[in-house]
Amino acid sequence: MTSTPPARPGLRDVARLAGVSHQTVSRVFKNHPMVSAKTRDRVLAAAAQLDFRPNAAARALATGRSRTLGVVSFDTALFGPASIIAAIERNARAADFFTSVASLESPGHGAVAGAVDRFRDQGVDGIIMIPGHVPPDEALRHLPGDLPTVLLGPDAAVPTVSGDHYLAPREAVRYLLELGHRTVHHLPGPDDWSEATERTRGWRDALTEAGADVPDCAPGDWSARSGYERGRLLAADGDVTAVFAANDQIALGLLWAIHESGRRVPDDVSVIGFDDIPEAAFLTPPLTTVRQDFTALGRHLVEQLITQLTGNGADPTAPKLVPSKLIIRRSTAPTASR
């Protein structure tokens, strides 16, 4: 015979143990300002003793808020989007919000609209959009105008948070030129990613401003294989002494291509990546790279959305740019011809 599990404690059980009314318990868990600190402490202590947990659905009905943020993202297997989603979840949890993530492969066939419909069924309070390779206007096209929304990326019709994908590549290229390299070659990311095109623009502008030659470059994907296959051509060219790779995975493939060719990093070729993946400091040699602050990106996305919901804090419509930082390690050195 199956035994019946014990009933979960409710508001009235907490009220009985704390010696207050169940309405007072409800006010405590709604953060009502008219509850004294002493009473609040007594109620919370009773709730902890009983292992009482407020019912999220009931709280949503009472407050009109689910305290859930929807996240729409593409290419979540990649390091950048995955790191940002993890940061969003941490910061949302710290602010007492849940997250619901819709991981999409492409914007076609009503994928975004379907994700939004699921979010509406869940009663999410707002949406964070991480477009990846999808143009922002396409990614936003199916989002409802009545739900607060924040976009990761620049130049959108909604509040935005952006990483630095232009100034930091310029700094990286200038650093290589200061080491005596006559020019810097580039292994771009996919040309349908705004982050990749911005990094390429920063590379090109730095060379143009310095009066250096701007070598041809061919877009690829974000993988180490792409870096290796394109890197073999650069490694075979004795005139190539410095390369800026659009991410650390591409740089990883390039490092192997250079090693396979018999040339050495940084003695013959200096290499800079982008992102500062956890393994970057342990490559051979340790990789000079541009560090993105994924924690800050996630925090600002959550803060901008919550500010829209509460009306508290800085202007949520003001774009937020999160700076990146050049991390110098042993994959770069002065050119031997200097």
Phi then psi dihedrals of residue 307, to 5 deg: -60, -40
Written as tens digits, the pLDDT of the chain (338 aa) is 444 556 677 778 888 888 998 788 878 877 677 888 889 888 888 888 888 766 554 555 455 567 899 999 888 888 998 999 999 999 999 998 999 998 887 666 578 888 888 888 888 999 999 987 777 777 777 777 778 999 998 877 788 999 999 999 999 999 999 999 999 999 999 988 889 999 999 999 999 999 999 999 999 999 999 999 999 999 999 999 999 999 999 999 999 999 999 999 999 999 999 999 999 999 999 999 999 999 999 999 999 999 998 877 667 677 889 999 999 999 999 987 54
* DSSP assignments along 181-227, one per residue: -S--EEE---TT-HHHHHHHHHHHHHHHHHT----------SSHHHH
Tokens (6 digits) for 109: 């066939």
Lookup result for tokens 């890197």: 231
CATH code, 11-54: 1.10.260.40
Number of H helices, E strands in the chain: 12, 11
DSSP 308: H
Tokens (6 digits) for 273: 């990546």
Phi then psi dihedrals of residue 265, to 5 deg: -110, 125
CATH class assigned to 68-162+294-322 = alpha beta
Is residue 331 a contact partner of residue 287, using CB atoms and an 8 Å limit? yes
3-state secondary structure of 59: helix
Tell me what pLDDT residue 157 has: 78
CB atoms within 10 A of CB 326: 18
Tell me what pLDDT residue 162 has: 93
How far is Cα 271 from Cα 284, in angstroms, rounded to an integer?
11
Domain with CATH 3.40.50.2300 in the chain: 68-162+294-322, 166-292
Is residue 149 a contact partner of residue 140, using CB atoms and an 8 Å limit? yes
Tell me what pLDDT residue 328 has: 98
Closest of 328, 182, 200 to residue 242, by C-alpha: 182
Please determine, looking at this structure, whether the domain spanning 166-292 carries the CATH number 3.40.50.2300. yes
Tell me what pLDDT residue 298 has: 95
The maximal CA–CA distance of the chain, rounded, in angstroms, is 85
Tell me what pLDDT residue 55 has: 57
311: left (phi over 0), alpha (psi -120 to 50) or beta: left
The single-letter code of the amino acid at 269 is V
